[in-house]
Amino acid sequence: MHRMKAQIEKHKVSGKVYAWTYKDNNRNHPGWNFTVDLKASESLSELLNLMSYCEWSTKKKITTELPTQAQLNVPNNQNGTAKWKSKPNLTLNCKTSESENHWLIKELDNGIEIQFGKEKLTELQNAINGIPKGNGDFAISDQNDENILYFWWNLEK
């Protein structure tokens, strides 16, 4: 039982993970924006696999990068010039005690935490796997704007 948790703790997330939210025009772009490079996509997918097999709640803190201009041009908020902010890290928190479709984004002082149940974990994994294939411009959320996570394609290797 604890072996899986230990594997999750040891798992090194490689590649680049980006998460940001808009300060300008956030009526049209509420919530958070998310993308990864190819390496991070593979590495996060592996991590989510481990989490999905673990019967306990597990969490993992990941360092994030600042989005590049090329990435900000993808959502194209105000032609890529809209002001944004990001946090230095992101915690993925798989909550087995919550419902299968539990989904919550908490903004912390130095990061954001995404909480999810098992069903949302699968959605998250599919979204992350699709990013390097050019899939994006869709979101996972619940009924609250602040829990929206938009996925954007990213073709950087």
Which pLDDT does position 128 carry in this prediction?
98
φ and ψ at 107, to 5 degrees? Answer: -90, 120
Residue 157 belongs to some domain of the structure: no
Residue 146, class by beta-carbon neighbours within 10 Å (0-12 exposed, 13-18 middle, 19+ buried)? middle
For the chain, give the percent of residues with pLDDT over 90: 85
Residue 149 has pLDDT above 90, yes or no: yes
Number of domains in the chain: 1
Q: What mean pLDDT do residues 147-155 have? A: 93
Residue 26 has pLDDT above 90, yes or no: no
Which pLDDT does position 1 carry in this prediction?
55
Which pLDDT does position 157 carry in this prediction?
63
CATH number at residue 76: 3.30.1360
Residue 32 belongs to some domain of the structure: yes
Q: What mean pLDDT do residues 120-142 have? A: 96
Q: What mean pLDDT do residues 30-55 have? A: 96
Residue 156 belongs to some domain of the structure: no
Q: Which domain holds residue 85?
A: 6-151
Query: Beta 149-151 vs 32-36: how paired, if at all?
Result: parallel
Per the CB < 8 A criterion, the answer to whether 137 and 152 are in contact is: yes
> Can you tell me whether residue 26 is helix, strand or coil?
coil
pLDDT band for position 2 (50/70/90)? confident
In sequence order, what E strands does the chain have? 17-22, 32-36, 58-63, 84-86, 89-94, 103-107, 111-116, 138-140, 149-151
Which pLDDT does position 28 carry in this prediction?
83
Residue 103 belongs to some domain of the structure: yes
> What gap in Å lies between CA 148 and CA 21, rounded to an integer?
10
Structure confidence by residue, pLDDT tens digits, 87-119: 999 999 999 999 999 999 999 999 999 999 999
Which pLDDT does position 12 carry in this prediction?
93
Two structure tokens written together for 107: 């903004």
Closest CA to 151 of 46, 143, 140: 140
pLDDT band for position 67 (50/70/90)? very high
Sheet containing 111-116: give its strands across: 58-63, 89-94, 111-116, 103-107
Which pLDDT does position 155 carry in this prediction?
74
